[in-house]
Amino acid sequence: MKKMVLYGLLWWVLIFVEVSIIGFTPGLATVGENGFSLLPKGIAIHFILLVIISALLGKLYFRKTIVESQNAIVPAATIVFIGFLLDALITVPFFVKSYSVYFTKWTLWVGVGIFLIVFYCIGKFQKKT
């Protein structure tokens, strides 16, 4: 469990930094009352980087762990839960200011889906060393 929590924290930090860099890059986002919103180019870059980050975290997490296929989703879901918890405690209150705005963004849910699928597939199909 401790490993899953640490990976959840790492995932949140990596995504926070990645989205912040994209958000402050001219032409990739707009700044508004509820923080910044990624433009289509910024969203595409975010999703590409999210696949890479998710795959790297999956490879690190599962490199010495043998996982039954039905259990590969447990660490992924725990990591997402930790990310949501940190978003609720840090991201929304300090940067977005609106829980309803943040947690109803389609990009958040597509990103969670991408992470779950990539992380699960790495766990299920990675050869153990």
SS3 string of the chain? CHHHHHHHHHHHHHHHHHHHHHHCCCCCEEEECCEEEECHHHHHHHHHHHHHHHHHHHHHHHCCCCCCHHHCHHHHHHHHHHHHHHHHHHHHHHHHCCHHHHHCCHHHHHHHHHHHHHHHHHHHHCCCC
pTM for this predicted structure: 0.88
Query: Would strands 29-32 and 35-38 be described as parallel, antiparallel, or unpaired?
Result: antiparallel
Mean pLDDT score of the chain, rounded to an integer?
Answer: 90
Across 68-83, average pLDDT:
85
Predicted pLDDT at 87? 96
- Place 100 in a pLDDT band, splitting at 50, 70 and 90: very high
Domain ranges of the chain: 2-125
Burial (CB count within 10 angstroms: exposed 0-12, middle 13-18, buried 19+), residue 104: exposed
Are 123 and 62 in contact, with CB atoms under 8 Å apart? yes
Give how far the C-alpha of residue 3 lies from the chain's centroid of Cα atoms, to the nearest Å.
Answer: 16
Is the pLDDT assigned to residue 76 strictly greater than 70?
yes
